[in-house]
Amino acid sequence: MSHHATRTLRELGYRLTPQRTLVWDVLRNHGSHMSAEEICERVNRQFPNVNMSTVYRTLDLLVSLSLVRETLLGPEHRTFEIEEEDAHHHLVCRECGAVEHIHDTDLRGLSAALDVGNSFLVQEVTVFGSCRTCRQADVPPDRP
């Protein structure tokens, strides 16, 4: 577990249980989005008795402390990743489910367009589309 995460938990009076540490480490080592099921499966390699409700409780805690970010990448598709300092958004391929990050600064034009009269602050954007790999796969092969 990183110093930042450890400090946040300790300062707020939460114990560093093995489950909490492990859920964090699994996410950090994976380095991108994971579902709670995937996290649970990894955690079970070391702690076979940890079940989904424990994993969800742990994730809810880490999300509430802004240590982990939860993003809905589709209907019923809750994913989790380590919360980064830099704001980012998601591009999701409808065909293969691939996820790419788009940096907040790349969305400035969109944020400005949506912020009509200072009424709406954009925090998170998820765009569904078709990734390069899937689009190339759709192209029919050249005929001789």
Which residues of this protein are in contact with Zn ion, per CB under 5 A? Answer: 81, 93, 95-96, 98, 131, 134
Closest separation between CB of residue 117 and Zn ion, Å? 30
Task: Give min distance, CB of 58 to Zn ion, in A.
Answer: 19
Q: How far is the CB of 134 from Zn ion (least distance, A)?
A: 3
CB of 96 to Zn ion, least distance (A): 3
The smaller minimum CB distance to Zn ion, of residues 95 and 115, is found at 95
Which residue's CB is nearer to Zn ion, number 116 or number 139? Answer: 139
Q: Who's near 50: CB < 8 A, 6+ residues apart? A: 19, 22, 40, 43, 44
> Which H or E run includes 126?
strand 126-129
Name the residue nearer to Zn ion (CB basis): 37 or 95: 95
- The residue among 1 and 98 lying less far from Zn ion, judged by its C-beta, is 98
Contacts of 92 (CB under 8 A, 6+ apart): 73, 74, 98, 99, 126, 127, 128, 129
At residue 25's C-alpha, the angle toward residues 24 and 29, to 5°, is 125
| Structure-token pair, residue 72 | 């809905």
Do 18 and 47 touch, CB atoms closer than 8 A?
Answer: yes
Nearer to Zn ion, 19 or 70 (CB): 70
Q: How far is the CB of 132 from Zn ion (least distance, A)?
A: 8
* Chain position carrying tokens 């391929």: 93
